[in-house]
Structure 1
């Protein structure tokens, strides 16, 4: 004979009782099980193994405190679960509710005695996962109405048409206002500053993000020349451009960096003096020698690499030009060989020192490096051209390295200079 309904009530245990016994598993077609008013303290995993036809389970008014996560895992057809009057106090980790109770329609955690109200914490993971729930009883439970219970208050308000809530007037909040027994429907979330806390944390997070973003922009701006040069090297490597050996890739004596407004001085004075008078030098003039169809940055980097020296014609126009500053910084990075002395500064204007205060790198370089000034007296011009030619012919290797350099390295640079001449 198949047993489909069992009631075992008022089974008094002197010690702690649990449902770890496998006896109920011998009733495979059981549909109704009532274990109310027993001194059950815990329900262990897979207690209800092999009774997957069970639809109604009452554990009301027991001393139940612990329900292991897999206690109801085999009850996929369970529709009614009664846990009223128990001592279960925490549903913050409600795996026993979410474990296979997909067909649960009725759930009761009601407490008939206010003194035994134990349920304090309920989370969305537990009740929110019971999609087929139609009947819920949490009356006479003093809930912990902190900000993390905001979802329950909204969930109850939004689901009153789908779910029957027994006596909502008896859903009390105990914390944080333990001296006032107010219902969850009357609980003032704004009074607990839940939303203000959320806005506070959102404001902090947004501020940190903006600060990090601005710092990243600042760092990228300060190092934009290194970034551009690194990007150029990556693209060159991707395109498979071979790097010419030292001593064979220089085709210019000097790359001339200047502002377009100073082009008359370049074409009428500099080019005739250096390219047409003996010994003739070969200069890279961007208006004449840059390759069409190639980006300005790539043209600058490529032609600086093809030049032994970089001559910066410093004027007020030069300081105002973004491209001139870029040429200066790329040359200062040492795009030839690390540590090589390639920059030659030529001052064509009388620039006050305070005017250079915003150009930190240029000012530092002028403080430690000799620069050549265009004379105001025409009689001193021959001395200017002689000094410029001498600077163009000097070795790129710094003096301290030149003293200890191997003979072969010096000969290599001499051969490079001879090939240009």
Structure 2
């Protein structure tokens, strides 16, 4: 059954892929080569068909038991090789003799028992941990002159075993002693290694710490410090010389009581250590013991992570006071379930404080005037509720520049008192709270970077606080429906609005966001219409960088193009530009009108239409008035009234074309049908009464004739008396209105109100003219006796 491993070894695959990423980023693009990831492929041997250009090869988590020179001789460019979690028992480094570029080799979690060294001049990182070695497998400096990282583990250890490591000049030495079963006490002197990581056996105490002597080491990380080793750790810290070089100390998975924890912390206080990290320690119940000596120390930062500190039976004031009175510059207590933190009793040295993921409330640092040097304060992941209270807290921190209040329950109401922030605050993180639009009424005026991600903001109020210095604004994961303007943020250069409900940018965005250079608006339900074109154009013009373009910018509406990338959406300029559309329509209308007018004039279409209309109206009247009806008193189809100056046209053209040889139409003409002995007036009236229609041949001569006027008068009188359409006006020649005498007002009225026939001079039109005229006077009259 596999044994439980420390966090360092459990994440070996993650570390390997991190190495790959770092390696890829540091290589020239033309020499990148290729990667072969064959992890967990149930392989028993190294594949023989690997590409010659392979530079990264991952064979982890397979069943490979043996390695041969031929396995890697064809991939001469190999630089990263992961063989962890296989079943390899023996290894001779000569199998890599043709891989002169190999830099990273991971052989952890195998069954190696023997190791034969061979020159590997390019190797930088070698991991041999969690194998079956009895003694530490160590090669000489000449075999691996460039080695920077070395991971070792064994079942048996003597202090002298590590003496050879002093010649390697490593950057990092990782010693896994979890499987250690035998230890021969001796002085363990480690030379020229900058960073040492040691994982102890979780239940055994071999007193290794008391034998450990550091020389040249700057960072020490210890895992699995349990109760029996705490006192050794304290003694180890006490013997560290002030002239030593140890600067960074990390204690991971330490199990101790509160008293032992304070003793270790006090011991580290007097060393050369500048940065102390205590991570994943056991649950500790603080007591009333408060004899911590805050004397002069080299320590600059203390970080306590994922270590629950509570006060079940004691007064919490004692525990708070230990931390608040520390004369260091940086303090982190994260994930410790703290419910409060005291304000220092005197001006503090703190420039950095982090109390994230505790249970602090709005009363933290209330009216605290002794944090005047504090520049960074992190209170994320607590129980803070009122933004206005946080502003009053920050007001007393005169040097505060960076404030993180994310992952709380903060909200702000417009009717609350005015917020008062410190003047030097330039970065504020309010993400993951319950803030609404009203937050823009409670912001520091000199802020430069503002994070409001994951809140409930739907818009930016017009009356919001003007933030002239703001350069970066994060509004991701809110409720925005359009891309906001920058009216209150004239210096804004970066805007993040991804994952909102934005359909389209507003006109204010284009008008007010002149300084913006980068926009993140991915994953929004964009409406692909005319309004989105300008948003796409600003990217094409290079005015703004759209992060994630084009993959994360898709059309959501209308549904028929859902999923289409914005860069592939096209719509005509004519459809979107109303002014241009109106202008084009007007131009087309004018052109069509001009063409129609030209055709009408050239082809005389109005005349034909007018004549067709008249013919249709006559046919309608005949049908309506029963054309078979016989008028007993009618003798003529039409009476013709004309000027004597137009008699030639009437006698030679009009009458012959109306009176055909069949005698179907009879015309009344005064020269031949007036009865002698009667007055002219009596003859005119008699002819009009006996005629079905009265045809008036109009011309400039007609308006000058007195008798013509009488005839028109009587015909007009009959028109009103019998309520019929007996008048037919025939325009022989155009009559200018100004030549019609004023006394002939009836003629003017008739010409203005009634439709008249025009005599066409073109012969092609005369046939239709005669047809219309005959149709107008056609009626069945009694046969002459």
Give yes or no for TM over 0.5: no
Structure richer in helix, relative to its length: 1
Instruction: Classify the TM-score, shorter chain.
Output: 0.3 to 0.5
Larger Rg: 2
Structure ranking higher on relative contact order (CA contacts 8 Å, 6+ apart): 1
